[in-house]
Amino acid sequence: MKFGPVSPDEALGGTAVHSIRQGDLVLKKGALIGPKEVAALKAADVKEIVVARLEPGDVSEDQAAAEIAATVAGEGVRTDRAFTGRCNLFASTAGVLVVDKDAVDRLNRVDEAVTFATLSAYKPVVEGEMIATVKIIPFAVAVSGRDAAIAAASQSKPVIRIAPYKIRKIGVVSTLLPGLAQKVVDKTLRVMSDRIAPAGASIIAEKRVPHEQGALAKGIDEVMKAGAEMVVVFGASAIADRRDVIPAAVETVGGTIEHFGMPVDPGNLMLIGSARGLPVIGAPGCARSPKENGFDWVLMRMLAGIPVGRADITGMGVGGLLMEIVTRPQPREEKAPEKGRRIAAVVLAAGRSTRMGAINKLIAEIGGKPLVRIAAEQALASHASPVIVVTGHEKEKVESALKGLNVRFVRNPDYAEGLGTSLKAGIAAVPENADGAIVCLGDMPHVDAKLIDRLLAAFDPERGALVVVPTIEGRRGNPVVWARRFFPDLMAIGGDIGARHLIGSYGEAVTEVAVKGEAALTDIDTPESLSAVKAEIERA
C-alpha cells in the first residue's frame, strides 16, 4: 500500500488518511478522493493531503475484515456489512457465547494490521447483541496477511459461536429450618425466575421440605418426576462439607457429586452434580440475590447445554472476585471491638416540616418536651456515642430545644434539597473511630433507648450483620444501624431520598430485629398525626 502526502491532483483515486476541515470543506477520514473532492480541496486552498492507495497484492480494509469475520463466525453468529475496515459480529439467537481463546490469540498474532476482539467467554447474550468485531488497522492489508489470518482462524472452526439455551424446565427444592421466613423463600423463587427468564426457562415444579436428608431426597425425586430438566436446591443452611445434607440427598436419589466449592466470590459454597442424567446444583447463599455471582456463571452454561466439570470450576479463579464481599470482615486492629460498641447516633432534625403547615414539628411539644429533644434524650440514654444532631431549617430553634444536652451539632446548609443531604452531613460527622452509626429520625417519639440498644446488640460485623433494621410483622422501620463500610454509599445519596434502596441492594448484609408495637413505624408528618401521638403519650 502506498502511503504519503500528495497534491490534490495527485490524490485522485486515493483514500484520505486524515479528516480535513478548512473553510467550508469537510473531508472525512477514509473518504475516496474523486474529481469533486479534488476540486473542493483546491477551492479550500489545500496544498497537500495524505492519502493511501492500494497496490497489487493488497486487499481493501473492508474486504479483508468481511472475509475474516465470515471465517471466525460459527453457529448462531451473523456478520454485519464491513465499513471503515470494521466488521461487527452479532448473536442471531439468545444463548451463551463460546469462544476459542487460543484461536483468537493466534489470529491476533498473525499480522498487526488484523485485530479481533470479543465479549468475555461464556457471557449470556440476547439476540441482536454485538459479540465481536474484526478491525483492519490500515486502509488495506497484504493478501498474504489476509490469507494467514483466515488460515489461523480455520484451524479451530468455529472460533466463536452461540450455544442456544436448551434446558427450559427447572425444578427448585428449598429446605426449611426454624427462623427461615417463608417470604425469604418466596423472594428466592422470584429472583430465580427472573434469572432464568432470558433463557426462556421457568420453574415448573417447586417443593419446600425440612432441612433433612430424607425429606430433601424425596423433594428432588418429586420435581424430577414432574418433568424438571434441571434441579436447583436452595438450602436453609449453607453446604459445609460433601457429607452435608444437600450432597447426601443427591446421592440418596442415585446422583453423583462432580465438585463442591468454587474460586468465585460471591459463590464459594456451590455444589454441582447430576442425578438420573439431569444436572443438579446446590445453590450458594448468594444465589438468593439478583446480583451477579458464581451461581450465574454455572447456571447459564448449563441451561445452554455446555458441560461444566471440575476443571471448568477450578479455572474460574482469575476474575472470580466479582465484588467487595460486604459480609466479610474488614481488616481491623489486633483487638477486635466488642459487639455493639463504638456506634454513633445520627439524629436527623433539619427538615422543613412542609406537611405540617406553619408548625415546625421538631420543636412541637409532647408531654412538655420538644419532639426533637425526646429523640435526642433517648439516643443519649442508649449505648450509642456520640450523639450527632443534624440541623438546618430553623437551626437556632432546634438547638435551643436541645439546650443542656451532650450532643454534637452539624448544620446541613442544603437541607431544603431533602433528607439525603442531611444523611450525608450526619454521616460525614461520625468520628473515625466509630464502627458504624445508627440513623434516627427526629420525629419518632416512640423510639426509645431500649429499642436502640436492641438494634445495637444485633450489630455484628464478624457474623455478617452489617445493617440492622427493626421489623414489625414483616414491615421494616427505623432507626437503622449501618456499618462504616457503607458510609460512602450513604454519603452518595442526594435529594429527598433515604437509604431504603441500599437495604434492598445489600440484602445479604441485613439483619432484621422483630419488635412489638408501632414504635419503629410511627413518625409525625401532619398536624393530625402529631395530635394523635401527643394524646397517646400524654394519656400514658
Q: DSSP letter string over 189-208?
A: HHHHHHHHGGGT-EEEEEEE
Regarding the domain with residue range 58-164, which homologous superfamily does it belong to in the CATH classification?
Answer: Pyrimidine nucleoside phosphorylase-like, C-terminal domain (3.90.1170.30)
pLDDT (0 to 100) of residue 357: 67
Q: Which residue has the cell 490534490?
A: 8
- The residue ranges of every structural domain in the chain are 2-53, 58-164, 169-314, 343-527
Neighbours of 266 (CB within 10 A): 25
Same fold, 169-314 and 343-527: no
Strand partners, 274: 256, 279
And the C-alpha cell for 468? 440492622
Q: Tell me if 387 sits within 8 A of 408, measured CB to CB.
A: yes
H/E segment holding residue 536: helix 527-539
Place of cell 455444589: 271
Residue indicated by cell numbers 498474532:
109
Q: SS3 string of 113-126?
A: CEEEEECCCCCEEC
199, 162, 200, 184: which is closest to 296 by C-alpha? 199
- Note the Cα 276 to chain centre separation in Å: 35
**pLDDT given for residue 180 in this prediction:** 79
| Dihedral-angle region of residue 465 (phi above 0 means left; psi in -120 to 50 means alpha; beta otherwise) | beta
> CA Rg, the chain, in Å?
32
Q: Is 477 helix (H, G, I), strand (E, B) or coil?
A: coil
Q: CA–CA separation, 455 vs 481, rounded Å?
A: 7
Find the helix or strand (DSSP H, E) in which 259 lies.
strand 256-260
Return per-residue pLDDT of the chain as tens, 540 residues.
Answer: 677 788 888 888 888 878 888 888 888 887 788 888 888 888 888 888 887 777 788 898 899 999 999 999 999 999 999 988 999 999 999 999 999 999 999 999 999 999 999 999 999 999 999 999 999 988 889 999 999 999 999 998 899 999 999 999 999 999 999 877 788 899 999 999 999 999 999 999 999 999 999 999 999 999 999 999 999 999 998 899 999 999 999 999 999 999 999 999 889 999 999 999 999 999 998 898 888 899 999 999 999 999 999 999 999 999 998 865 565 555 444 334 444 469 999 999 998 876 666 678 888 888 889 999 999 999 999 999 999 999 999 999 999 999 999 999 999 999 988 888 999 999 999 999 999 999 999 988 889 999 999 999 999 887 788 999 999 887 888 999 999 989 998 998 876 667 777 887 777 788 999 888 777 677 777 777 777 777 777 665
* Strand partners of residue 437: 344, 482
CATH superfamily membership of 2-53: Molybdopterin biosynthesis moea protein, domain 2 (3.90.105.10)
Q: According to the model, what pLDDT value does residue 540 have?
A: 57
Distance of CA 286 to the CA centre of its chain: 12
**Run of H or E residues at 145:** helix 143-154
Q: Which fold has domain 169-314?
A: Molybdenum Cofactor Biosythetic Enzyme; Chain A (3.40.980)
Distance in angstroms (rounded) separating the CA atoms of residues 119 and 293 = 18
The confidence score (pLDDT) of residue 29 equals 81
Handedness of CA 308, 313, 314, 316 (dihedral sign): positive
| Spatial distance between the Cα atoms of 456 and 376, rounded to a whole number of angstroms | 16
Q: CATH fold of 343-527, please?
A: Spore Coat Polysaccharide Biosynthesis Protein SpsA; Chain A (3.90.550)
Retrieve residue 47's grid coordinates.
496544498
Closest of 273, 243, 246, 270 to residue 257, by C-alpha: 273
Asked whether the beta carbons of 310 and 262 are under 8 A apart, the reply is no
Integer Cα distance of 174 and 257 in angstroms: 19
Contact 49, 8 (CB under 8 A): yes
CA distance 465 to 483: 9
Closest CA to 387 of 340, 424, 347, 441: 347
Please report which helix (H) or strand (E) contains residue 387, including its range. strand 387-391
Q: Render the burial of 133-154: b for 16+ CB within 10 Å, e for the rest.
A: bbbbebbbbbeebbebbbebbe
Which residues have C-beta within 8 Å of that of residue 178, sequence separation ≥ 6?
A: none
Give the per-residue pLDDT at 336: 40
pLDDT of residue 358: 67
